[in-house]
Structure 1
Amino acid sequence: MTSHPLETLLTGAVNDAVEYVLDGARTWRFDLNSPDVDSDERATVGTKLQYRVLAALDLIKEPPLDTTILGIAVELKGTVRTNWMIPREGQCQICLLIQVDAKNDRHQVLLMRTHRIWLNRGNGDQKRNIMADAIRTYALPVLPWTPLPRNPLKLLTSEQKAVVFNLKEGIKRRLTALFGYLPEVVIPRITIETVGANRKDAARRAREAKFDVYTQHGLVVLMGTWIPQQELAARHGFDLSGEAWVAIRPETLGTDFEVAKAMSFATSQRT
């Protein structure tokens, strides 16, 4: 088993599954509860979760259930709803239950033996959900409600979203607006790619926008791709790991302002 903290591993697995289904870099989507995501597609998060949890915890998929942990067969079940549908083979077995609350950007993980006496009447394919009282009484918390990374696009007002996703405008102009609307908010790479969906040059356009962000909004953009910028941002409390970005106010940077500005503009035109 890996030595990384369980919370970090499971949170990363859940977030990856959600981002995979949203596929923002092709669809412009960033909210699992959006009307643009149909219910069948939303339900596939649970399936994607299974494989990402296995990978995150260095487990292998093997019968008789989904995997084996310390010699015990375990069923992995994920849901974006309020309950889990337990298949026939998982009933009366140890289940690792992962719940994603996309509305509140959080998730929890429970461990429970799903005895049939604690399950509601089944559907046509013999899947059965768990009685709420049984979950409260018998499920053991592996990870309590834990925050998921919130896509910064959710922070925009309706008017701001209309500007950022106005496809009649170029990516550079729309990204300039995005940074201006969200000063000192760390913006992950997937957000840049979502704004520039279906274009291969979104990151380059973001670099080119740095000067406009400064002249129009008075903000200095730093990006995690460049280690010196990542380290400078970290000194001021911004984690740019994973090639994230942030637009910082001069007063926050203080005496580092001129250094940050020079770093930012020096890489603004590189590809």
Structure 2
Amino acid sequence: MSHAPLDSSHQDYLTLSAIEAAILAAGGGLNAFTEMVTGLFRQAFDEVIDAPRTNRFTLAEIEKTEKTYIGTKVEILLRNFLGMPKGAVLDLSVNGTEVDIKMTTKRDWMIPRESIGRPAILMKADERTALCDVGLIVCRPEYLRTSNNQDKKGQIAAAQYVHIWWILRRQRYPKNFWEVLPLAERKAIMDAGTGKWRLAALFERIQGQPISRSQVQAIGQQHDYMKRLRKNGGARDILGPKQIAILWGSKDRDLIERFGLGPVTSEEFVSYHATTADDVALLRARDHID
């Protein structure tokens, strides 16, 4: 992660520094903002893919019309997290300044006419690499090249990226492990049986890699999917005797750090196969394995 504000001599320094300060203050500081935004991208993608109901697993499998909703979903989640209202014209009002929110999963941000000359929050996420960017810019006409689309939206030219105030740059966010999982592995997990058996297959086959809560829900396909993870009827009954522990970023941070499994956010789970006597004893004492 790199936090790269513009030089104080830049013509938009005062405007963008004030917006960034307000956003980070509302978000609880840079670290809290980073954790929120990275989780927000995963949540937005997972909710639009909607694996529990649609049996789809990656962005490539969704319809074109649904892809356009990802930007709206990100906008809603960001506004809700920051506790800031919608503007009269643009997506967000930051201390009275109207700011647009532009999200892309491709290379370019599309800037509508009503945003020209106004500040914007630029957000980008790449599902293949699980890297995201968040920046601020004033959408000056000279930064844009006209696209060939029907509504004549402009695109920020790559040469003008020097005018972006980066808050996050190439920051890791929780990956969609389905993107890189061979189809045979996916089939083996989904064909393992009921919810707890699918989750057991998932965490046995994919160890040491954080898996988001929404993806756990997709595989568990149960209303109370967390129950399918626990002992007494869940995946831990199956994995415990094999010395495989399912650790939660919210409650097992010390163990995750000890085993070198991080970073794992509070909205992610990760599995770990204990092979040494010390690790087995520790995980047994914490009731993670049998």
SS at match of 2:65: helix
The structure 2 residue matched to 1:209, chosen from 235, 259, 272, is 235
Matched residues, percent identical? 24
Cα displacement (A) at 1:78: 0.9
The structure 1 residue matched to 2:54, chosen from 2, 6, 27, is 27
Partner of 1:175: 199
Partner of 1:63: 88
Distance in 1 (CA, whole Å) between partners of 2:65 and 2:127 is: 15
Amino acid at match of 1:131: A
Cα displacement (A) at 1:7: 2.4
Cα displacement (A) at 1:46: 1.0
2:146 is the counterpart of 1:120? yes
Question: Relative to 1, partners in 2 of residues 1:41 and 1:73: Cα closer, same or farther, differing over 3 Å?
Answer: same
Asked whether the equivalents of residues 152 and 191 of structure 1 are also in contact (C-alpha less than 8 Å), the reply is: no
Distance in 2 (CA, whole Å) between partners of 1:122 and 1:77 is: 19
Cα displacement (A) at 1:214: 4.1
1:206-260 superposed Cα distances (whole Å, 9 cap, x missing partner): 3323232244xx3332343994x565445434466636443322236x4241352
2:218 is the counterpart of 1:194? yes
Q: What are the within-5 Å matches in structure 2 for residues 77-116 of structure 1?
A: 77-116=102-141
Asked whether the equivalents of residues 97 and 109 of structure 1 are also in contact (C-alpha less than 8 Å), the reply is: yes
The structure 1 residue matched to 2:62, chosen from 15, 37, 59, is 37
Question: Relative to 1, partners in 2 of residues 1:143 and 1:248: Cα closer, same or farther, differing over 3 Å?
Answer: closer
Partner of 2:17: none
Question: Relative to 1, partners in 2 of residues 1:196 and 1:63: Cα closer, same or farther, differing over 3 Å?
Answer: same
Distance in 2 (CA, whole Å) between partners of 1:64 and 1:115 is: 17
Question: Relative to 1, partners in 2 of residues 1:187 and 1:14: Cα closer, same or farther, differing over 3 Å?
Answer: closer
Partner of 1:260: 283
Question: Relative to 1, partners in 2 of residues 1:154 and 1:55: Cα closer, same or farther, differing over 3 Å?
Answer: same
Asked whether the equivalents of residues 48 and 66 of structure 2 are also in contact (C-alpha less than 8 Å), the reply is: yes
Relative to the length of structure 1, the TM-score reads 0.80
Distance in 1 (CA, whole Å) between partners of 2:177 and 2:187 is: 15
2:41 is the counterpart of 1:14? yes
Asked whether the equivalents of residues 102 and 123 of structure 2 are also in contact (C-alpha less than 8 Å), the reply is: yes
Distance in 2 (CA, whole Å) between partners of 1:90 and 1:107 is: 22
Asked whether the equivalents of residues 243 and 289 of structure 2 are also in contact (C-alpha less than 8 Å), the reply is: no
Partner of 1:142: 167
Partner of 1:249: 273
Amino acid at match of 2:133: Q
1:25-59 superposed Cα distances (whole Å, 9 cap, x missing partner): 32343422x3x212221221111111222223332
Question: Relative to 1, partners in 2 of residues 1:203 and 1:13: Cα closer, same or farther, differing over 3 Å?
Answer: closer
Asked whether the equivalents of residues 156 and 181 of structure 1 are also in contact (C-alpha less than 8 Å), the reply is: no
Relative to the length of structure 2, the TM-score reads 0.75
| Runs (4+) off by over 6 Å | none
The structure 2 residue matched to 1:75, chosen from 78, 93, 100, is 100
Cα displacement (A) at 1:103: 1.8
2:243 is the counterpart of 1:219? yes
Amino acid at match of 1:162: K
SS at match of 2:134: strand
Distance in 2 (CA, whole Å) between partners of 1:185 and 1:246 is: 6
Question: Relative to 1, partners in 2 of residues 1:233 and 1:139: Cα closer, same or farther, differing over 3 Å?
Answer: closer
Asked whether the equivalents of residues 87 and 99 of structure 2 are also in contact (C-alpha less than 8 Å), the reply is: no
Asked whether the equivalents of residues 13 and 56 of structure 1 are also in contact (C-alpha less than 8 Å), the reply is: no
SS at match of 2:137: strand
Q: What are the within-5 Å matches in structure 2 for residues 144-163 of structure 1?
A: 144-163=169-188
Q: What are the within-5 Å matches in structure 2 for residues 228-239 of structure 1?
A: 231-238=254-261
